[in-house]
Amino acid sequence: MGHFGVDKTDVFKALAKRLNRNPVGAPFSETLMKILHTMFLEKEAEIGSNFPMGFTTAEKLSASTGISVEEITDRLDGMAQKGLVIDVPREDKMFYMLTPLVIGFFEYTFMRADSSLPLKDLADLFEQYHHEKGVSEEFFGGDTKMFQTWAYESLMPEDVETEVLNYEKASEMIRDAGGGSLTMCYCRHQAHHRGVACDAPIDDVCMSLGGASEWLVRRGFARFASVDELLRVLEKTEELGLVHLADNVQNNTAYICHCCGCCCGVLRGMNEHDVHSVHPSNFIPEINEAECTGCGICVKRCHIGAIEITGAVAGKGGTAKISNDRCIGCGACIRGCKKAAMHLKRRLEIYVPPKNKKEQMLSIARQKGRL
């Protein structure tokens, strides 16, 4: 394990440069160097800096580093166990990809309680890094977002039910995947180590599906969960008023998070950096002004400050007003309205996300001039 006092070396600088070549990069800073020195051994940093984009083999990495195949295979296995490398078996051969910073080894670091890592130190370092100039914009500021919002299905209007596509329904994605896995909420786990976590659940709350789920379970970052169990978590998190955020893709969704505006790095990008960090759902709340009493419950339940009470006199009365430009269309506000004065409606302009993760990453890379 590296230490904060270790001077920067060329190999760690090379690793930082390589991480910043990803579609979602990692802007260089002294804080990033401290994170890398903490997460990577020097030999691991050397191997990481030699990774091409995409997947590769131990043999190719051996040729580029001069490290024997036997040693580099052992090193890669250890790196995968820390979430620094993703290893995927294909036809009796293992392929490896360097894990990005986001979505990547930040999330994997806090997906489990790992006594081999200084999690308190890393929680503070990642918090500092996320607030540094340009970092939130790099992670979340592009036109093609990393995440999209999934509206609460129970609130979707019946007259558009037949028009709602599978990629707009969390339950359909879960059923199509045939199950997946559950893990800790990495954002609230990080907040816990910083002493600022809210009372939303940390354990067994974030979902993974498909190949991502298989890898997380194999490497001990998550546990298997059936379709029924995942659907129960979906229902529970809606009752708690959390926001469903998922990969901004149509097919093969890998991650579904249930987020709060105080701990979630994505929503905090909106709240603390004014970066529109997530693509909204194709729905938006509509207020029935005749029924709205201006009680303010919806304001409290909104995780990104997209609702205000207007027209109140001496703190009484008034009507809720939605900021259409800011609202992400999750439905959390509606679930809390005791007067049934709000409902979801279709947005006039329907958004169609990238078909899959490859198309999404290519779009992000193209927009940043990294192709």
Query: What does the domain layout of the chain look like in residue ranges?
Result: 10-105, 145-274
The predicted structure's pLDDT at residue 161? 63
The predicted structure's pLDDT at residue 160? 72
Whole-angstrom distance, CA of residue 215 vs CA of residue 175: 19
Whole-angstrom distance, CA of residue 330 vs CA of residue 281: 7
Contact partners, residue 331, CB within 8 Å, separation at least 6: 151, 152, 155, 238, 283, 285, 344
> Can you tell me which residue has the tokens 């999934």?
150
Q: Say what the pTM is.
A: 0.92
The predicted structure's pLDDT at residue 56? 98
Domain at 10-105: CATH architecture: Orthogonal Bundle (1.10)
Main-chain phi, psi angles of 48, to 5 degrees: -60, -40
> Can you tell me which residue has the tokens 């979906």?
234
Strand partners, 90: 93
The predicted structure's pLDDT at residue 369? 94
The predicted structure's pLDDT at residue 91? 87
> Can you tell me which residue has the tokens 């969704």?
253
The predicted structure's pLDDT at residue 115? 87
DSSP letter at 97? E
- Reference 219, options 101, 94, 103, 87; nearest CA is 87
Q: Which residues of the chain have pLDDT under 70?
A: 1-9, 161-162, 313-316
Contact partners, residue 7, CB within 8 Å, separation at least 6: none
Contact partners, residue 38, CB within 8 Å, separation at least 6: 1, 2, 3, 4, 117, 118, 121, 122, 125
Say what the alpha-carbon torsion angle 112, 118, 120, 121 is, to the nearest 10 degrees: -130
> Can you tell me which residue has the tokens 């200084």?
118
Sign of CA dihedral 227, 232, 233, 234: positive
The predicted structure's pLDDT at residue 371? 84
The predicted structure's pLDDT at residue 107? 96
DSSP string, 15-47: HHHHHTTSSS-----HHHHHHHHHH--HHHHHH
Whole-angstrom distance, CA of residue 187 vs CA of residue 342: 30
- Reference 286, options 147, 149, 157, 153; nearest CA is 157
344 in Cβ contact with 156 (< 8 Å): yes
